[in-house]
Structures are given as C-alpha cells and as structure tokens.
Amino acid sequence: MTSDNVSGIKIGATLLPDGKDAVADLYAKIAQPDMHSVLFFCSSRYDLNKLGPELKQRFQCLLVGCTTAGEISPNGYQEGGIVGISFSTPKLKLHSHIIHPLNGFTLMDAQNIVNLTRDELIFTDKLEKDNLFGFLLIDGLSILEEQVASYIHSQFEGVSIVGGSAGDDLQFEETKVYSDGDFLSNAASLTLFETTLPFTVFKTQHFKPTNKKMVITEADPARRIVSEINAEPAALEYARILGRPISDLNPAFFSKYPLMIRIADNWQVRSIQKMNEDNSLSFYCAIDTGLVLTLSEGVDIVTSLQGELKELTRSVPNPQLIIGCDCISRRLEIMEKGLDQKIAELLQDKNFIGFNTYGEQFNSVHVNQTLTGVIIGGDNGPHRRT
C-alpha cells in the first residue's frame, strides 16, 4: 500500500519476503522528489546483513529505522515486512545521532548530542519545545532503556522525547537499530524532528489498577528477572493470585494481565515478557526487590484507542502523519481477541505508521503496554503539545 503525498510526506508498506524485492517495492511507493529523510521499521526475519546495504544503496538520504515485533501501516497490523515514511517537505528537518555502544553512554554524551543538534538547527538557534521533538529507537534487549531515556531527556531542556524499543518478532535473541547500511545491537538512534508544523506527542494505555497487590521479594534488576513474589516462586504466585494454572502462562496471557506500579500520582504498567524454566518471570521494564506490584484490569482497547485518536485529531486536526510505537503486548491482546480488523478501521484515514515494540519511551520514562508517538498536522493548524 501507499498513501498520497501530502505536503511532502509519503507513507508506504511492503510484505515481499525477499529483502531486495521488499526495498525496491518500498522505494517505488514512497520515493519522491527532493526526498531528504526516510524513517522505516522492518521485520527481523530479513537477512539484515543484506537488507542494510540494500536500503543504503536505494535510499540515498538520511535513513532511520529498527527491527520490529510487527509493523503497523494505515491498513493495520502486518508482520514480516517493512513500513516507511519519506519526507521532502522543507518544513520538517531530521537531525539523527547514533548511540553505540549503549553500555558506555553517559550524561556528557547526552549533552554532546544536544550541542551537535543545536549547531544543526535551521529554524531557530536554540532548543525550542514548540519546534522540536525527539524520536528514540533503542535495542529492545539492551536493558538500558531507562538510563538512556533519562539521560537524554534531562539534557534536552524540556523537549519531548518519544520512541520505542526494537523487537525481533518475539524471538528475544537480537534486536537492532539501523546505522549507515548496518543493523547494530547495543545501539540506539536519537532523531530530533525540527518543524514549523503543529504536533503533539502522546502516550495512552488501557489498564487500571485493581486491589490485588503483591511484593517482589527476590529479583535481579540488571536482568529484569523476578525470582520470588510474596516469598514464593514468581510464576507460581502470579498464577495463584489470578486463579489460573501455570500452564496458562504465555505471552498472550501476560498481555491481558500485566502488573502496575505507582510512581507519584501515575500508574505505570510493568509487563511480563516470559516465564523461565525455573519459574522466574522476565519483565520488559525495570523491576527491583521490594517493589509493590498491583494487578491491573483492562478496559476495552478499541474504545480506548478510538477515544485517544479523537482527542489527538481535536488537538491537531487533519493529521498529515501519526507515528506510533505500540507495545507487542497490546498487539498480542488485540490478535487474541480478534480485534485486528476493528483497529485497522480506526487507523485507515489517520496516516498512521509505526511498529510493535519491546517497550516504549515517553520523555524520561521507559514504559510498557502503551502506545506512544506523535501526531503531525498541516499548515495553519493549532500548535499544541502534551
């Protein structure tokens, strides 16, 4: 599929299984005169050693992208393909910086990116919150999202940061970020979108806390593994509290029954990634011994998304583009409930493009089971941010 070229923004998607054919197909759908930047999200099923050079050779402009746990186009969910956006509009400029390796990233490195970005600005000579937002793509198995997001946001003087953690189609082996013809692990890309167009960043979730609580009594925070809950094997105690047999515990089940923690006045989801052979639980987000976890309950995900899209398009009417980073757990719930067609119908006229993630970034925080992103409008629209 492809979208019409609206003011220098063009969207396309391909499901061709061969990498070379897929890149050619995507190029045919989104190439445009004066194309200066492309943002893409691709399945990890491709031979990335071949796909990277093919992308670089075909799209001879700034390229930003990562591997996924599924892709999202205006036609809804897809998997095993590539989705992309090309930009030719002079009213939007991308400034991209690769962070590699992640495990050596410091506050000083974040400040250096700020300095480089400031030198590259074309619409202003300083970091203007109404003209800039950051888009962060990061290795989804690095276990460094919290630190990196916090460092970056602290140095960018209130500029909004959104993004997602790269996936690998639920294999949990390697998640990669694109850089100059290569796909890198232990890496991130921070892209500052500088624009005179109206935009709003957003975060939405469809869970609320219940009165069922539990305490992490043994954990390995460095690996995000919880060994014990309430002094019992974590998986067994989680299943007991839910009144379900341990044989029910799988990614689709975890997507329906995530846990939450309260930070200040906000409830944030802590999603379970998988159950391990020793009955421990691996999480997508930061955990630690002593944390009180609250079992959540979901509201209707279609109604929730419909309400969020309505509010977004009220804030930024006639969107040219919505870029979304949607947690894989949300997709698993949607597919398990057979709601994918209803979701597709909601997205069809919204110029929505994105991917399914292993976690989402919103300003200084790494979150789970959310949809984060940005909506970009046309000329003469209101210029509001969240």
Q: Per-residue DSSP letters for 136-155?
A: EEE-TTSS-HHHHHHHHHHH
Structure-block tokens of residue 332: 């698993």
Total tally of structural domains belonging to the chain = 2
The CA distance from 81 to 343, in Å, is 19
Q: Which domain holds residue 54?
A: 9-204+303-376
Angle at 137 between CA 132 and CA 142, to 5 degrees: 140
| Residue 196: other Cβ atoms inside 10 A | 15
The terminus-to-terminus CA distance of the chain in angstroms comes to 31
Q: Are residues 100 and 157 in the same domain?
A: yes
Contact at 8 Å (CB) between 39 and 12? no
Q: Are residues 219 and 283 in the same domain?
A: yes
Q: Are residues 365 and 223 in the same domain?
A: no
Q: Are residues 86 and 173 in the same domain?
A: yes
Q: Are residues 292 and 308 in the same domain?
A: no
DSSP string over 266-284: EEEEE-EEEE-TTS-EEES
Residue 309 sits at φ, ψ, to 5 deg, of -65, -40
In a domain, 242, yes or no: yes
User: At a CB cut-off of 8 Å and minimum separation 6, what does 31 contact?
Assistant: 10, 59, 86
The CA distance from 134 to 379, in Å, is 21
Q: Are residues 197 and 243 in the same domain?
A: no
Contact at 8 Å (CB) between 371 and 320? no
Residue of 36, 117, 45 lying closest to 81 (CA atoms): 45
The CA distance from 190 to 47, in Å, is 24
Last residue of a domain, one of 239, 273, 297: 297
Q: Are residues 60 and 178 in the same domain?
A: yes
Per-residue pLDDT of the chain (386 residues; tens, 9 = 90+): 444 445 799 999 999 999 999 999 999 999 999 999 999 999 999 999 999 999 999 999 999 999 999 999 988 999 999 999 999 999 999 999 999 999 999 999 999 999 999 999 999 888 999 999 999 999 999 999 999 999 999 999 899 999 999 999 999 999 999 999 999 999 999 999 999 999 999 999 999 999 999 999 999 999 999 999 999 999 999 999 999 999 999 998 998 899 999 887 889 899 999 999 999 999 999 899 999 999 999 899 999 999 999 999 999 988 899 999 999 999 999 999 999 999 999 998 889 999 999 999 999 999 999 999 999 998 654 444 43
Which pTM value belongs to this model? 0.91
Residue of 156, 138, 160, 158 lying closest to 147 (CA atoms): 138
pLDDT at site 151: 97
Structure-block tokens of residue 295: 């079992």
Q: Are residues 369 and 263 in the same domain?
A: no
Last residue of a domain, one of 264, 279, 297: 297
pLDDT at site 234: 98
In a domain, 386, yes or no: no
Identity of the amino acid at 220? D
Q: Are residues 245 and 110 in the same domain?
A: no
In a domain, 119, yes or no: yes
In a domain, 49, yes or no: yes
The CA distance from 204 to 210, in Å, is 18
Q: Are residues 229 and 273 in the same domain?
A: yes
In a domain, 133, yes or no: yes
Q: Are residues 129 and 20 in the same domain?
A: yes
Q: Are residues 283 and 330 in the same domain?
A: no
In a domain, 385, yes or no: no
Per the DSSP assignment, residues forming a β-bridge with 329 are none
Strands (DSSP E) contained in 114-233 are 132-138, 160-165, 177-179, 182-184, 188-195, 199-204, 207-220, 225-229, 232-233
Last residue of a domain, one of 297, 318, 350: 297
In a domain, 382, yes or no: no
Q: Would the CA dihedral through 39, 192, 137, 345 be positive or negative? A: negative
In a domain, 88, yes or no: yes
Determine the distance from the C-alpha atom of residue 133 to the mean position of all C-alpha atoms in its chain, rounded to a whole number.
15
Strand, coil or helix: 1:
coil
